[in-house]
Every structure is written in structure tokens, then in C-alpha cells.
Amino acid sequence: MKLQDAVGMGYLFAPTIMSTLPGPLHSPPTLEAAAPTSTPVAQDAFDTPRFNRLLALMEKQVEVAEKQNATIERQEKELSEHGKKLDALVKDAQRDDLPYDEEKGDPLDSEQLWSGVYEIAAAKMKEEAEEWKGLMDVSLVFIAIFLAVLTAFLVPAAQALNPSPSDTPTNSTSALPPLPLESAQNVCAFYYLSLIMAMCNAVLCVLGRQWVGKLLSRPDGKTHRERTMRHEARKKLAYGWIKPLVAVLYWSLLLSIGIFIAGLLYQLRNLSTSFDQTAPTLETTWSIGIFLASRIVAAMAATTIHAVRFESSPFEGIFSKFVVTVLQRLEKRRRWIKKWRISVIWDDWESRKELWKTYMELLAEANDPKLLDRVAPSFSYSAWVDYGEGSIELLERVYNRLMASDTSTRVRETVRA
């Protein structure tokens, strides 16, 4: 209430105030009381101590009311802020038990989604690449030791091909030496062939390590979605080369060792029969070597047969897969001629169905629960309806992964919501 309002109210209630004033104010001045020769003096009827005191009290009341209004407004603002903070505390306390807020729009356009999916793909690729690099490192170390041992046997075998100085005619300096024994040539051929294969294996190991390192590098791309699709495309292209390379390294190393053992046993057999009498010690050593080598071959054959017969065999390898493929083709009579894929169509990256399939496959194979917390808000059943083409199997795999025991409560609640 302002001072002007108070004054107005004073005028409004002037009759009431006038009625409460003392006697001289009740009766207006009469003509008889005034002197006929004096001029009347104008006097303000409200200029009294009581009225002035009333105005002062009303001014103080207005000031108090204004202060109370300011205090109430400040308290209202503080209560509103405290309410917001309390809501935030309650939400934070219940965060682990509440589902994630579903993102608006198409989940395939979410950069946060593809950021988590890219890390899942990179982690999976890194795990496989570390396994390949470990195999190549072991092969390089073994080849280094094997080449040292092989060289120790190769030098005497190569020297045996040259005739001794006593067998060389003294009257001829330009004549070529005579042809060495066929057994000596065979032994030297075994050792040289084993040496060549081991060195080729070492070269392939070095190249393979370089390719695997390139496979682990971050692909080019402006967004995580583009980098993820480039990563998957590069992985598909690399699998067609690196997986066969690993199989070639494995079998070439085994073949190199097998050729060396064959040459060693052949040399031992020739040595045992090179005397005019039987050498029982050498014959026994040769027999034991044949027995051990045959046992190794039998074990490899048994594991291959086991892998061919049982689908979940731990002995599955490139050769057993090849045998299984041949048997399936013979059984189902499929055509073996297929179209060759010449180039990669980069426009397929923009295909929504291809994006969704890549996202779901990587999500189903995720190992880190923390990454699932990042991509769970973008999980949507409507996207499966739009792009899944009714693939219940893939959706079931993703559902089982998100509902696993190692995932957080928020992830499971998001899937249930």
C-alpha cells in the first residue's frame, strides 16, 4: 500500500475521523463567534497530531508489508530451488533401479549409440588380433631355434656331397667332381626344403604382424557410425586373408618340422645300413623314431576325425572345416560355383537394415558391461519392427545378452520398459 493510497483512504473516512475529534472540531464556527471586523483564517482539518500519527503508522505498515512480500518471494524461490535439488537427489538415488530414458528419433542416428558399438567392435577385434599376434610371435621364436638346429644338420649334409681331396684326380684341375650318392642327395634335399619352408614361414609371420597391426588401427571417418561400418567392412576383407594366413603358418611350420624329421630318420636309416654288419643301436633308434613320428601323425588324424564328427569339438581347424564343407556339399548336392564378389559397395553403409543388423550383432557379442550401459538407451523394439525383417533369432540373442547377470539393473529395466 502506497502513501497516496493511504491519503485517499483518509479522505474517504474523513467523516468518521471528524466524528472522533474533540468538541471544537464537532461544531463548525458560527458567524456570531467571529469578530465582524476580522478576516477568518483557513485551517486544515487533517493537520492534527493524531492524524499525522495515523499516517506515520500506515507508512510503517506499508514498509513492513513490502518487506514481507520481498521475504515471501525470496522464500518461494528458495523453496523452488530446494525442491528441484530434492528431485535430483531422489532421481540419483533411484537411478540404478530405473530404466534409461528412451532417446527420441531413430536410434540408428544416435552418435552415442555408435560410439559404444564402435568400442565393442574394436574390443572384439583386438581380442582376436592379440591371439593371432601371439601365435605369430611364438612361431617366430620357434623358427629361430629351429633354424639354428637345422643349420647344424645341414652343414655336414652339404659337405657330404663334395668328394674328399683324396678322391679327386691330381692330374686334372678343371674336371667336375663325380655325382654323389643318391642317399646323400636325398638327405640334403630334405634339410634344404625344411630350411626354405621355415624361412618362408618367418617372412609370412612378419607380414602377418604388420597386417594385424593395420587392422587394429582406427579407420577414417567423420562419425562413429561411419568408422564402425568401415571397421566392419575392413574386418570382413581382412578375414579372407588373415585367417587363411594363420592356417598356412600353422601347417607350413608343421610341414617344415615333418620334413626335417623325415630327413633325419632317412639319414639315420642310411647310416645304420652303411656297414658290413647290422648296427643294432642305430636300428633301434630308427625304430623308436618311426614309432614316435607315427604316433604324432595318428594323434593329428584322430583329432581331425573328432572335429569332423562333432560340431562343438575343441580340435576344430582349417582342415576339419574343409572336410566338413566337402561332406555337406556331397550330402546336399549343392552347387560349388558361386559368384565372385569383386568390390565393396560403400553405399550399403547408408542402408538402415544393414546398420541395424551390424548394431545388433555387435551388441549380442559385447563383453564389457560398461559399454552396454552406453548403448542401452538406444535399444528400441520399434527399430526391430522397422528393420529386423522378423529376425527373432537375432533379437533373442541381444535380449539374452542385455538381460545377463553381469549387466546393470538399469540396462535390464530399460529392456523391460
Output the pLDDT for position 20.
Answer: 43
Report field, pTM of the whole predicted structure over 0.75: no
Query: Does residue 405 contact residue 367 with C-beta atoms inside 8 Å?
Result: no
Output the pLDDT for position 7.
Answer: 45
Output the pLDDT for position 245.
Answer: 86
Q: Is the pLDDT of residue 8 over 60?
A: no
Q: Is the pLDDT of residue 170 over 60?
A: no
pLDDT in tens, 111-164: 777 887 888 888 888 888 888 888 888 889 989 998 888 888 888 888 877 766
Q: Which of the listed ranges 16-20, 39-43, 89-93, 398-402 does the model predict with the highest average pLDDT?
A: 398-402
Looking at this protein, which amino acid is placed at residue 23? G
Contacts of 282-289 spanning 24+ positions with Cβ under 8 A = 289/261, 289/264, 289/265
Number of H helices, E strands in the chain: 14, 0
Q: What gap in Å lies between CA 130 and CA 141, rounded to an integer?
A: 16
Per-residue confidence band for 172, with pLDDT thresholds at 50, 70 and 90: low
Distances (CA, A) of 188 to 151, 176, 177, 266, 298: 11, 19, 17, 11, 27
More confident residue, 255 or 235: 255
More confident residue, 156 or 204: 204
Q: Output the average pLDDT for the chain.
A: 76
Mean of the pLDDT values across residues 252-265?
91
Query: Does residue 262 contact residue 189 with C-beta atoms inside 8 Å?
Result: no
More confident residue, 199 or 359: 199
Can you state the percent helix, strand and coil of the chain, rounding each to 5? 75, 0, 25
E strand segments, 60-99: none
Task: Give the residue among 206, 200, 196, 195 at the shortest CA–CA distance from 147.
Answer: 195
pLDDT in tens, 284-335: 988 999 999 999 999 988 988 888 887 777 787 777 777 777 776 665 554 4
Q: What gap in Å lies between CA 38 and CA 223, rounded to an integer?
A: 103
Instruction: Give me the residue spans of the domains in the chain.
Output: 3-28+45-93, 278-334
| DSSP code of residue 169 | -
pLDDT in tens, 279-298: 888 889 889 999 999 999 99
Mean of the pLDDT values across residues 252-263?
91
Output the pLDDT for position 95.
Answer: 64
Distances (CA, A) of 201 to 151, 212, 242, 245, 339: 16, 16, 14, 10, 32
